[in-house]
Amino acid sequence: MLYIFTHTDLDGVGSAAVYLVLNGKKPQDPDVLVTYVEPYNIHEKLEPFIQYLEDEDKIVISDIGINTKIYGELVKTLENAVGKVAAIEWYDHHRWDKEWVENLTELGIKLHVDTGTCATGVVYKYAPKGSDLTAEARNMLDDLVNAVCAADLWLWNHHLAPKLFRIVTLNGSQGDERRNLVLKKLSELNLWDEELEELLKEYVNIELKNYSRIDKRIVRSCRNNCCVASTIKVRGPPTNSFVGSYILSRTNADIACIVKENGSISLRSKKVNVQRIAYNLGGGGHPRAAGAKVELSFLDRLLLKVYTRGFLKRVNRKILDIALSENVC
């Protein structure tokens, strides 16, 4: 059995698709199970499967960086899984502490971390090749990797990047269903068709409506020449990255903070290393795009319901405190 645990975004879907292609597998095969996870819940998603693992099984984790809050629990979960399977492979492009790399490697995990590309590129570069590929298939894989990396690394130098990026992030109650649809097509090296085009139109229509709602919720705070602008994320499009880019342009802030009502925080910036801020909140990510999941206090939840601006001001103060103490702003 091949168990793939991958991120919920386009890079997660792309990396799973590339791994399947390289190994001659399809997501609908009876011996393949793909599960979409976040860095903060990877241990919870892994745990239920441990009792069913067998000697010939393989676990593949892709596009998931270490979340400091659950690191200890994750290591325990991996320790329980290592002795039961043929291999655990982990492919990522986020920044890892040396200690994390050493600890997981000592456990016997085949870890591949390369910050020079996206996770889809890491899988393409390092994953074992279980089947022969035609020249046409390799060309299509090259195109797929370039499209996914163009979106995930915020380069936008591939015509399919903004299209695929939007489709995968059109989640709601059908999130995994849509991810699986895209995964199936990409694993068949079908990068675009009429069905995906219709999904894109649906996304764009919702995105345009939601920008006006986001705009009304933006709160900007500054201290010592460092400015943060935050907003509450509305359900559905646009994505956190598009919202972050919009906030930065709209407010001329140094840091954009996108908050969800469940305590999920996404940070974006054009010049500030927001990864350091996210790390202090128990999360991680990239220097220009990072995030964390925080526990909301009773006061936070109350303010969210009755005084949203007050809640966002509290968030901004926290972000500014960390940014200034870390000297990143």
Task: Give dist(CA 257, CA 312) in Å, integer.
Answer: 9
In this structure, how many other beta carbons lie within 10 angstroms of the beta carbon of residue 100? 18
Structure tokens at 174: 């059908």
Share of the chain above pLDDT 70, in %: 98
Contact 270, 288 (CB under 8 A): yes
In this structure, how many other beta carbons lie within 10 angstroms of the beta carbon of residue 293? 19
State pLDDT tens for residues 91-101.
999 989 999 99
* C-alpha distances out from residue 320 to 197, 247, 289, 327, Å: 41, 16, 16, 10
Domain 214-325, CATH among 3.20.20.450, 1.20.1050.10, 3.10.310.30, 2.60.40.3140: 3.10.310.30
The answer to whether residue 235 scores a pLDDT higher than 80 is: no
Share of the chain above pLDDT 90, in %: 73
With cut-offs at 50, 70 and 90, classify the pLDDT of residue 241: confident
The answer to whether residue 168 scores a pLDDT higher than 60 is: yes
Contact 245, 258 (CB under 8 A): no
Closest-CA residue to 237 (of 166, 291, 165): 166
Could you state, in order of their start, the residue ranges of all structural domains in the chain?
2-192, 214-325
The CATH class for the domain spanning 2-192 reads alpha beta
- At 129 the pLDDT is 86
- At 222 the pLDDT is 97
DSSP state of 188: T
Closest-CA residue to 14 (of 130, 176, 241, 184): 184
Which residue carries 């999904």 as its tokens?
Answer: 199
Task: Give dist(CA 70, CA 56) in Å, integer.
Answer: 28
Which residues neighbour 2 within 8 Å (Cβ) at sequence distance 6 or greater? 23, 25, 31, 32, 33, 57, 58, 60
What's the mean per-residue pLDDT of the chain?
92
For 129-164, the DSSP string reads: --S---HHHHHHHHHHHHHHHHHHTT---STTHHHH
